[in-house]
């Protein structure tokens, strides 16, 4: 399914950096897979194009796509006006990583018999359904397939290596800055290669790119949790609403701050469609814009909730 992407142009990658975008003319949002297909046909055709297993996964049933919180999550990820962008991105990365690990712990920690719920037998690949499996790069930069447990171990080591590195995520109270506001601050804003997200606050040049990669890795783990572990163990342990709330907050943050591109959401696209349709994603959110509303409404219909 990944080769479906080849037909689209995603030249707006530079949009991910807001400070660069500020000097660029506004570009139309990149069409997501869902929208492009949605534009072409009916909801059922679009849903079919996702090549989902039949019957549909339980987490796409609107009855199990609910939350532990009500209201507009967007306020939780919207950058406060005075806060410098890099500072806010760093905060969100750390919070979402803590949230994700809260769920990973359940499948990752050893039981008294020494077994983990996610292991090489249950999950021989880092997969998100039959059509997606993620590879890790070995020391020769070759992609290798790994059991999900190993993949998550490497992911955890890599992300915490970044987050705990005070050169990458500075923690010195004295190094802070604030956001530029054309009506108030007179500090000239440099644009171009000498300016980057977080520069004023002491974050390194590669900071934003690293954060995008962290979000991509975290997304893959969420996708694996839904595709491989939603029932075993989260549904059985009555944690599905908690998982839904943290993941929908994650998607809202990732899209709002350009940490994930709409097309990177692919294996979870139908759930995103559903959340756009059931009101989890407010219409003004970028997550909503990345969804195919028709598919979401069709899923609501199938679940008897439309």
Partner 1 sequence: MNVSEFASPPEKRPESYGRNARYNQKRCFQVAQGFFKDAVRRARERNDRLKELERRLESPEVLLRREQLWGHSGKLEARYLRFLRTKEQLSNYSVVKTIGKGYFGEVKLVRKIQDGRVYALKRLFKSEMISKEQLPRVRAERDALAESDSEWVTKLFTTFQDNTSLYMLMEFCPGGDLMAILIKFQIFSEDITRFYAAEIVNAIEAIHNLGFIHRDIKPDNILLDRGGHIKLADFGLSKSFRKDHDSCYYQELLQRPTSQMSRLGNRNSVNIDAIQLTVSNRAQINEWRRSRRLMAYSSVGTPDYIAPELFYDQGYSFEIDWWSLGTIIYECLVGWPPFASENPQDTYRKIVNWQHTLFFPDDVQLSHNSVHLIRCMINSPEHRLGRNGVAEIKNHGFFAGVDFTTLRRIRAPFEPPLTSEVDTSCFPVDDLPQTEDPAPSLAGDDDSPTPEMFLPFIGYTFKRFEKSYS
**Residue list, annotated binding site:** 118, 123, 224, 229
33/274 with CB nearer partner 1: 274
The dihedral sign for the CA sequence 94, 100, 101, 102 = positive
Nearest to 121 by CA among 149, 152, 156, 154: 149
Give the separation between CA 204 and CA 304, rounded to whole angstroms.
50
CA 15, 263, 261: angle at the middle one, nearest 5?
30
DSSP assignment of 197-260 equals TTGGGT--TTHHHHHHHHHHHHHHHHHHHHHHHIIIIIITTT-HHHHHHHHHHHHHHHHHTTSS
60/223 with CB nearer partner 1: 60
Are 3 and 263 within 8 A, CB to CB? no
Exposure string for 105-116, b = 16+ CB within 10 A, e = fewer:
ebbbeeeeeeeb
Minimum CB–partner distance for residue 10 and partner 1 (Å): 28
Question: What residues contact 11, with CB distance under 8 A and at least 6 apart?
Answer: none
Minimum CB–partner distance for residue 32 and partner 1 (Å): 21
Minimum CB–partner distance for residue 31 and partner 1 (Å): 22
Q: Which two tokens stand for residue 199?
A: 């520069």
* 27 SS3 class: coil
Minimum CB–partner distance for residue 150 and partner 1 (Å): 20
Nearest to 224 by CA among 303, 153, 298: 153
* Greatest C-alpha distance within the chain: 63
Give the separation between CA 52 and CA 266, rounded to whole angstroms.
12
112/284 with CB nearer partner 1: 112
Q: Which two tokens stand for residue 226?
A: 């839904």
35/201 with CB nearer partner 1: 201
Which residues participate in the annotated binding site for Zn(2+)? 118, 123, 224, 229
Minimum CB–partner distance for residue 249 and partner 1 (Å): 8
Rule CB under 8 A: which residues touch partner 1? Answer: 42, 44-45, 47-48, 54-58, 60-61, 64, 68-69, 75-76, 80-84, 87-88, 90-91, 94-95, 98-99, 102-103, 105-106, 109-113, 117, 169-174, 176-179, 181, 184-186, 201, 231, 233, 235-239, 242, 245-246, 298, 302-303
105/140 with CB nearer partner 1: 105
């Amino acid at each position: 399914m990944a080769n479906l992407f080849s037909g689209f142009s995603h030249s707006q990658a530079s949009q991910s950096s807001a400070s660069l975008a500020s000097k660029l003319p506004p570009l139309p949002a990149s069409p997501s897979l869902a929208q492009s297909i949605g534009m072409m046909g009916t909801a059922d055709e679009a849903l079919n194009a996702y090549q989902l297993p039949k019957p549909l996964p339980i987490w796409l049933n609107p009855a199990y796509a609910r939350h532990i919180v009500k209201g507009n999550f967007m306020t939780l990820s919207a950058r406060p006006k005075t806060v410098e962008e890099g500072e806010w991105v760093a905060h969100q990365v750390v919070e979402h990583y803590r949230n994700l690990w809260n769920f990973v712990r359940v499948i990752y920690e050893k039981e008294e018999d020494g077994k983990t719920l996610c292991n090489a037998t249950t999950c021989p690949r880092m997969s998100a359904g039959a059509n997606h499996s993620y590879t890790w790069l070995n020391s020769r930069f070759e992609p290798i397939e790994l059991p999900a447990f190993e993949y998550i171990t490497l992911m955890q080591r890599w992300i915490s290596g970044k987050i705990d590195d005070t050169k990458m995520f500075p923690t010195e109270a004295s190094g802070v800055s604030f956001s530029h506001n054309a009506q108030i601050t007179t500090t000239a804003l440099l644009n171009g290669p000498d300016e980057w997200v977080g520069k004023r606050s002491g974050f390194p040049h590669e900071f934003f790119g690293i954060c995008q990669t962290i979000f991509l890795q975290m997304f893959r783990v969420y996708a694996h949790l839904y595709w491989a572990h939603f029932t075993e163990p989260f549904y059985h342990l009555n944690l599905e609403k908690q998982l839904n709330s943290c993941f929908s907050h994650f998607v809202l943050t990732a899209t709002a701050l350009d940490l994930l591109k709409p097309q990177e959401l692919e294996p979870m696209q139908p759930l995103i469609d559903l959340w756009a349709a059931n009101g989890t994603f407010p219409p003004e959110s970028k997550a909503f814009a990345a969804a195919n509303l028709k598919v979401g409404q069709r899923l609501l219909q199938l679940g008897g909730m439309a």
